Amino acid sequence: MIKHLSILLGFSLLSSAVYLDNKLLKVTKYNIRSEKIPKEFNEFKIIHLSDFHNYVFNKENTMVIKKISIENPDIIVMTGDMVNKYDTKFNQFLELVRKLSQRYKIYYIIGNHEKKLKKDDLDLIINELNLSNVNVINNNSKVIISRRNKVINIYGLDIPLEFYKVRNRPTNITTVVDAVLNRCNMDEYNILLTHNPLFFETYSKHNVDLILAGHVHGGMIRIPFIGGVLSPERKFFPKYSGGLYEINKKKLIVSKGIGHSKPGVRVCNMPEIVSITLLNS
């Protein structure tokens, strides 16, 4: 009898934890320090959203909006997969953007899910983003943010779909990355928005100081002290599943994302909003 009660209690606790991991939302904060950050941008705050997947936390996603409002960011960046490849309506995401864009400047890049949409659907999303004054960054774009004649730069990197394949993936992404990041000025602070973090080693060879990415959903299931279990490519224990990483002073922050595609469930992996504060030091 006691054994059965223990099993039932354990199952109930696990079920509750999984439920909360998929219904609650946390804010993960990072302080990024660099001598390259102009003092004019000291305490400049960036909210990083990724992998929203047209999700709904509560009515009209007021939880998301409230948590962002508390952070009071200077800008918001979105690093792709904000909708699903199989969606035919995008109301949740577009309504969230409309509300956020009334208060904040938003910079957006597409992910692999957007790239798989029908052309008419992707065109509709891009048009709606433009109407909300969202800056949609592509490989040919460079955004310069100025404060008293000092700047930080934001680049976007659109990874071709073939680099997301499980099989027959091209082995050399250098040409794709070089075409965007060879333009980075080493004397200025450069931020890269890219959906896929798995090529961090290649990004880090360029004059880019901070890379913001998503895609891996935190590995869906996370094991304490080990990390994420599975990437969207069905690769076990992906190297960059969520959190802060560094190579040669180049920093990568991987968002664990907000939603998930179908089928999907999070375990020990609560959805997150990432809040980043730049510090001159």
* Assigned CATH for 2-280: 3.60.21
The predicted structure's pLDDT at residue 4: 44
Q: For residues 276 and 30, is the Cβ–Cβ distance under 8 A?
A: yes
Instruction: Enumerate residues 6+ apart whose C-beta is below 8 A from 206.
Output: 177, 178, 181, 182, 184
d(CA 250, CA 248): 5
Each residue's pLDDT tens digit, 45-90: 999 999 999 887 777 789 999 999 999 999 999 999 999 999 989 9
pLDDT in tens, 201-248: 999 999 999 999 999 988 888 888 788 887 777 788 889 999 999 999
Q: Where are the domains of the chain?
A: 2-280
Give the mean pLDDT of the chain: 89
What's the whole-model pTM score?
0.91
Task: For residue range 145-154, list pLDDT tens digits in order.
Answer: 999 999 999 9
> What's the confidence (pLDDT) of residue 116?
94
